[in-house]
Amino acid sequence: RAGAAGGYDPFEVVETTGPLAGVSGILPLAVALTEPHTLSTSTPPRADSGRIFQALLAEPLAAASSVQAETTPARRFTAKHIVYLVIALAALGGLFLPSDAGELGLLGKNFVNSPSAVFYDQLNELPASSAVLMAFDYTPGQNPELEPAARAILENLAARQVNVIALSSNPNGANLAQTLLAQTKRQYPALTFVNLGYIPGNEIGLRNLALGWLPANYVDANGVEWSQTPLAQTVRGMDDLALNILVLGDSTGLNGWMTQVQPIVKTPFIAATTAALDPQARIYVNAKQLNASLRGLTGAAELELWSGVSGRAVKTVNALSFVSLALAGIIIATNLVRFLKRDKRAKDT
């Protein structure tokens, strides 16, 4: 190791042998082992340190300052609950109206030229023991709007002892039809119906039905051949039907019937559609391809009124009307209260 003047320190030991030859400042291992070890003197413990700690523990804890403001207990009954209660009471009030108050907001028998009145006239002109075709061309998602209309039509036909041939160009329609037909059969045991089920092929399938009707070995939705059904002897084609009734949920089905079937057959057509499809159905009414059209849930309720029955459709429409009136009243009252509070605040300032 270099000294202060560039040489080595004469008091340091320089190794002469082994791999460390010529290196200075190395303490031989033997010398390091033989040097005596001295124990360092420990600092005597302070007697007062324990007392300080005990004094800190003995001091009473100061009350912590509240960081959050005290929260007021939540009220169990708020304005929101009042709104819900009013809406519920309005809906229940509409459902439990007496039968003689069933024309609330509907076009009843006082409106003889309404679409529902024209639709009812088409059903009213059907002779007993005649047969009609009823197409259930809608999906389960459209069932809440169209099921009341289909039910009201079936009950009207059953009361007049009109036979029903049901079918669907929609795969889901056959099951929906079977459910309603079975329920109507329990209410009107004399009803005669045949559920042809699903007619595949869309527009082509409908056109083939209009041109050639059904083969004798066609099997209906209940597993019975068409030739064995009670209506096979009287209905050999669509021209043998008294009326074609379409319950439709989309424009594809409506256009298919109007373009592929209606120009071919001689029997008239009427349609019950969703509210969204009604404007398009009215076009076919104006073109004389449809004799009448029924608009959604309100149309079904009006048909019930024309039939002299205050059924599910009327009660549902009444409930919806009461809820709408209740919501309008709540909106008006809320805005009035806010206006009065703002006016009072302005006067105070």
Is 45 among the domain residues?
no
Domain count, the chain: 2
Instruction: List Cα–Cα distances, 105 to 61, 80, 93, in angstroms.
Output: 73, 28, 15
| DSSP sequence for 120-165 | HHHHHTPPTT-EEEEEEE--GGGHHHHHHHHHHHHHHHHHTT-EEE
Q: Do 228 and 291 belong to one domain? A: yes
Is 44 among the domain residues?
no
Q: Do 289 and 317 belong to one domain? A: no
User: pLDDT 10s per residue in the chain (349 long)?
Assistant: 444 444 555 556 666 766 667 766 665 655 555 666 666 665 665 555 566 656 666 766 665 555 554 555 556 667 666 666 666 665 565 555 555 544 555 545 555 568 889 999 999 999 999 999 999 999 999 999 999 999 999 999 999 999 999 999 999 999 999 999 999 999 999 999 999 999 999 999 999 999 999 998 999 999 999 999 999 999 999 999 999 999 999 999 999 999 999 999 999 999 999 999 999 999 999 999 999 999 988 888 888 888 776 667 666 666 666 566 667 777 777 777 777 777 677 666 6
Is the distance from CB of 28 to CB of 13 less than 8 angstroms? yes
Domain that holds residue 322: 79-102+312-332
Q: Do 93 and 163 belong to one domain? A: no
Is 291 among the domain residues?
yes
Question: What are the two backbone dihedrals, phi and then psi, of residue 125, each rounded to the nearest 5 degrees?
Answer: -85, -5
Is the distance from CB of 164 to CB of 135 less than 8 angstroms? no
State the pLDDT at residue 2: 45
Q: Do 136 and 277 belong to one domain? A: yes
The CATH number assigned to the domain holding 241 equals: 3.40.50
Integer Cα distance of 143 and 338 in angstroms: 41
Is 66 among the domain residues?
no
Q: Do 96 and 112 belong to one domain? A: no
Q: Do 186 and 206 belong to one domain? A: yes
State the pLDDT at residue 231: 96
Q: Do 83 and 160 belong to one domain? A: no
At 225 the three-state DSSP class reads strand
Q: Do 166 and 110 belong to one domain? A: yes
pTM of the prediction?
0.66
Is 92 among the domain residues?
yes
Q: Do 172 and 203 belong to one domain? A: yes
Q: Do 245 and 96 belong to one domain? A: no
Integer Cα distance of 216 and 173 in angstroms: 23
State the pLDDT at residue 224: 95
State the pLDDT at residue 294: 95
Q: Do 278 and 140 belong to one domain? A: yes
Which residues is 219 bridged to in the sheet?
225
Q: Do 172 and 261 belong to one domain? A: yes
Is 63 among the domain residues?
no
Is the distance from CB of 161 to CB of 129 less than 8 angstroms? yes
Integer Cα distance of 115 and 219 in angstroms: 37
Is 64 among the domain residues?
no
Integer Cα distance of 308 and 296 in angstroms: 19
Q: Find, among 262, 297, 259, the residue nearest to 277 by Cα.
A: 297
Instruction: List Cα–Cα distances, 207 to 124, 168, 214, 265, 275, in angstroms.
Output: 28, 13, 12, 10, 27
Is 90 among the domain residues?
yes
